[in-house]
Structures are given as C-alpha cells and as structure tokens.
Structure 1
Amino acid sequence: MDGNGRWAKARGLPRAAGHKAGAEAARKVLRAAGEAGVECLTLYAFSSENWRRPQTEINDLMGLLRLYIGSELNTLHREGIRLKILGDHKAFKPDVARMIDEAVARTAANRRMTLAVALNYGARAELVKATQDLARRAAAGEVAAEAIDEAMVDAALDTADLPPLDLMIRTSGEHRLSNFLLWQAAYAELLFVDTYWPDFDGDALRAALDAFAGRERRYGGL
C-alpha cells in the first residue's frame, strides 16, 4: 500500500492525513475483496525498514493502528474475518502489541476470509528466521538436513497457514517488491499501478482481479 505521503503532499496535507486516507482505502478494499470471494487479503502496513522514518510519523502510524483496531474489530468479527499478523508486532509499544494479540485471538475461529496484516515485517528477515528454525531442528536431530524441502520452508514461514499467493499489487507507480513476500511471490502474478494507495478503492481492486483473471498461468509448463 504505497503512496500515502505523496497523496497528502499533492494536496498540501500532512503525511498523517495520507495515512488516515490510506486506512480508509484499506477498509474499502477489504469490503470489496470479501464481496469478490477473495480467500485471503494481505496488506503490507509497516515494514521493518519503516523504523527509519521520523518518530513523529511512526507515532502517527501507531495511533492510527490503535484507532483502526478499536473501530474495526467488531466489524471484522461480525463478518467472519480472521485477523492474521505477519512479522514481529511485539516490537511495538506494549499497549499496541496487546491490542493486536487480543484482536487475533478474538477472530481466530472465523473462516469466511482472512485479513493478513504485515507489521514490522521484512521478507529477508522472515527467510532468515525460517532458515534458523530449520537449522536448529537439524542440529537437534529432529530432521535430516538433506530432507529439508520447499514444503518444510513453507511451513516455517509466517504465512504457513495461508493459501498460496496468487496476485501481488503495488500502488503508486513503484515497480519493485521492496522486501515483501519474496518466497511466496515466486509464481504470483504481479500488478503495478500508478494510483496512490488512498485512491485505490473497490473499483480498482475489481479491475485488478479482472486483469488477473485474464492472465494465463503455466508454472513453467506449456
């Protein structure tokens, strides 16, 4: 979800206003995804590199996260949406981490759809952690090193209980993955759009899904 800051700058608004508009866009896209029958929607909300941003902006983002959880949790639960977190949200302030844990626990049994939110997430760090876990298991004799395969790596990732990634969308005209779901994106369709995230709405998602439906996926075959 890229372009909040540039969206705000283009309107002479503070970056915080862009993040607030981005949260509203997330609400619209989640609703449209549910209506379209999407099984899992993953949103990259805060990367492990975002800690380099000014503290005031980080504080604004944390405040927005508190507000979003507080205002949307009942709706998520009522609509049967399970909340899943990718990354290490324990690095956030204790009250934020606690709110996240409570939201995950409350929605754990929901099955209509999964909303996965990447918080303090980086794909390289995820892969390092998975590799370390498998190395520890091999050293302990729980698994033979030569027996480690793709399925075991999949099971060690944050996304272990999520369906395979089909479509990755990046907004705002950037044409790179920026350390997001690098392993999972191996056979995903990639879609880069010029729209800033706050302007990406239900219609934009439906257009993206239509574009995805028109692609032929061969996975190396003919």
Structure 2
Amino acid sequence: MGRERQKKKNRSSKPKVRPNSNRTKAGKTKVNFLGNETIAKNWDRKLTVSQNYKRLGLSSRLNAPTGGTEKKSVKGEDPAKKLRDSLAIAGPRAATKVATQEVQVERDPETGRIIRVIRPEVDENDNPLNDPLNDIMDMDDEKPAKKPQTDVVAALEAQAAEEEEWLATKKQPRKQSQREEEWIASLVEKHGDDIKAMVRDRKLNPMQQTEGDISRRVKKWKAKHEDTT
C-alpha cells in the first residue's frame, strides 16, 4: 500500500528524468559544450544554445529552423513597414501612379513643334508595374555576402586541419597476414594466373571469394614478393 500522491506520480505521463540521463526535463538532448576546448572557453552559460552558436559564428542545425526565430528590433524602424507583407500586390491606384520625370525635347527651329523626345536611359532593373516579385528576383541574382569569420571558427578550422594531417600520416595500407599469404601462394601454385579457376576451386576457395577479391589479393601478393626478390 502506498500513498495517494505516490500513486499519482507513478501514473503520470510526464517523463521522469533519471540522474544519469543525457536529456533535459523537456526531453531534449543535452549539449556537451565541454567536449571541445575552444568552444568551452568561449561558451556563455547564461545564453541558450542557439544564442551561443550565433555568437560564436556557428550553426546549431544544418537545415532551416522549424520554429520561430528570435528577432531584434532596430531603433528608428517604422513598425508599419515591418508588418507590411513583401509579396502584397499594390492596388490599382498605386499601379497607375507614375512618378514625374524630366525629359529633353528637340523642336523644329522654324515651326517650334516637338520633333523628338529624349528620355533618360532606363535601368535594366526598372520596375514600372511595381511588381513585388521583380525585387525578389533581383535579390536572388545578387551573390550573398559572406559572413565575417569569427576567431572561434578560425581556431576550429585550424584544429580540424591538424587532425586531418595527423590522420593522413597515421593511416597505413592494409597488410596481408601470414595465413592469407599462404592461401594465395597455394592458389597461384595450383592455377597460375587463372583467376576464374581459383574462384571455381571449392577446396582452396571454400568461402567462395569473388573474382575481383581474389584478383586484388593476388596482385598485392605478387607486388610484395617481387619487391623482396
């Protein structure tokens, strides 16, 4: 028999956090920012994960955020412009309204009639119909400016380059074992250079190694023995 409160806790659907669990009370995975020395030095515990990543010049997720993002208000910004939809189509009055321009005219010296109107050169990106999609297409054509690289990103890239060089020097080609060399030697002694016969040999090839696999092994075995001889 237990208390009523204990029974309610046992029946509760709220996930219980274990002491050694790698998840928070909300069920999200904890971020181990102490795994890297550079990030641990520049990590601010008072900020959230997204805020820390943004401050350090990193990305918390590769895909676009699924929820809302934090927006900072700019001083002197008109709230009406902020709420205005960029894809909203202007009304008929706004479309018919044309800005006044100054043009040059060429007149007939005798009669004074206008012969030709000299208009200013029209910009290629001119938008006389006030089409909102035109501005978006112009923005897509422009190359996005690269974000300035932070000191943390530069340190992480240098660390990654050092680790890559270390792994390249550490990596060594696979060597054939003594048992494998004896097996290849018996195949070559019996069948010579006939790889297909080696594949069909059930006694010497009980594991049914493929033609390509045996060919690679024989080639490596011959290269080693040619160097020794």
Larger radius of gyration: 2
User: Of the two structures, which has the highest relative contact order with CA contacts closer than 8 Å and spacing of 6 or more?
Assistant: 1
Q: So what's the TM-score if we normalise by structure 1?
A: 0.20
Q: Say which structure is richer in helix.
A: 1
Q: So what's the TM-score if we normalise by structure 2?
A: 0.19
